[in-house]
Structure 1
Amino acid sequence: MATRKRTDALTRARIVDAAIAVLDADEEAGLTFRALSQALATGPGAIYHHVSGKGELLDAATEAVVTAALDLPGGGAAPREEVHALALGLFDAIDDHPWVAAQLAAQLARTSAHGASLRILEALGRRVMTLGVPREHWFTTTTALLYYVLGAAGQNAAARESSGGDDRAAVLAREADAWESLPAEDFPFLRAVAAQMRDHDDREQFTAGVDLVLAGIAASGARVSGGSAR
């Protein structure tokens, strides 16, 4: 079998792009320097010239996806609208690249944050600063928003991954049927909302959650302002 030869220069950006493609296809377990060498038609040594190891490569791939998701078009949108755009950009990015959720969770769990998670925190925090939130509540407010966005987006991606390729509507229908069959005395809430769960749209549900968080931010700011005025 003939060996495919690389005809263009090997760069760090090309390596990261190839890593993203491998991660999309085979998750983290499939990301090996052998797989990258085959995809890039080069040897492992050439790749090591640009990245020191798998950990650096995972961080670089995650940062590339997140940076693209946070690249909002200009136009002077209101801060609340920009929060919506950032949140939905991350939701869609994690939906397209489910492995990103686990990488961001791992970054946030480290004692020192890394590039991608820092970029998200900074992007959200800048908007929180302009939403009328008192300075002493910036950190709590921004991290609450961060945890909702990443948690909900990650859960959505995990649910789609676990469906095994089944149609999302069929998965929701099966789950709704299961909820409706639960004992009424033990699960009155789940039975009551089963039909809503069956018919919901994941992206619309996510957006509604962002609105709830933003409404809480606005209400909190109003209470603090009102309290200081008395």
Structure 2
Amino acid sequence: MTRHVERRADALSRERIVEAAVALLDADGEGGLTFRRLAERLRTGPGAIYNHVANKGELLAAATDAVLAPALKAEVAPDVRAVALAVFDAIDKHPWVGTQLAAAPSQPAMLRVFERIGRQVRALGVPAAAEFASVSALTNYILGVGGLNAANARTVAPGTNRTDFLTTVAAEWADLDPEEFPFTRDVAGQLRDHDDREQFLAGIDLILNGIRLLGRP
């Protein structure tokens, strides 16, 4: 057994450790990621993992970067809308990513998102004085909506049909007091029929339309 564990430890790489960490995070969230569980999954000892990753914070940053890096490639996300949707889908698939991005603004994944959006906003001809505010608005919207969408998905019981769930919530909205919630009652039907990704992109377009106006004489 000792020889077997040693062989597994010798075969360890940072890439394998991060891959295993992502699997644990997807299954149980940040609370489910411990070096003990990771060691069990990799069939090695925690000490061998520390040879490649200094602490949990570094591991979370590496896992976040590993999940988002493919989505941020130029051929996958050639413009702002594509970047936004790629990040949205990554957070939807890996709900813990949204929390990690918000928790550490200077981590590599966050910087990659900001840089990709920044270059594309600059290409729109936005005045230099408005670039930071424009990119920040887009980034905050992407992470905020992506994180909220992922959080909402986690609150729904496993196996719940999305259409049935939205129909139930829409019925509750439609039954609200008409004097206190006139607007919410009016849009209840739109809640029931909406598509999360389409609604997300509609918000991106609203922000982009405003940003484009900044570059006009």
Fold match, TM over 0.5?
Answer: yes
Correspondence 1:100-179 to 2 at 5 A: 100-108=97-105, 113-165=106-158, 166-179=160-173
Alignment partner of 2:180 out of 186, 192, 195? 186
RMSD of Structure 2 on Structure 1 (CA): 1.9
SS of the aligned residue for 2:167 comes to helix
What do the CA deviations read for 1:178-207 (whole angstroms, capped 9, x no partner)?
100001111110010000010000011111
Query: For residues 170 and 8 of structure 1, do their structure 2 counterparts lie closer, same or farther at Cα, with a shift above 3 Å needed?
Result: farther
Are residue 17 (structure 1) and residue 19 (structure 2) matched?
A: yes
Q: Post-superposition, which runs of at least 4 consecutive aligned residues in structure 1 deviate over 4 A?
A: none
- Structure 2 counterpart of 1:86: 83
What do the CA deviations read for 1:15-59 (whole angstroms, capped 9, x no partner)?
000000000001001101111111111111110000011111011
CA distance in 1, matches of 2:161, 2:39: 34
CA distance in 2, matches of 1:74, 1:193: 34
CA distance in 2, matches of 1:100, 1:164: 20
CA distance in 1, matches of 2:97, 2:65: 9
What do the CA deviations read for 1:61-106 (whole angstroms, capped 9, x no partner)?
111112122123179x5xxxx1111001001100000000000111
User: Gaps spanning 5+ residues in structure 2: where?
Assistant: none
Contact 2:13 2:52 in 1 (8 A): yes
**What is the number of equivalent residue pairs in this alignment?**
213
The code of the aligned residue for 1:62 comes to T
Contact 2:24 2:32 in 1 (8 A): yes
Contact 2:9 2:45 in 1 (8 A): no
TM-score (structure 1 length as normaliser): 0.88
CA distance in 2, matches of 1:154, 1:148: 10
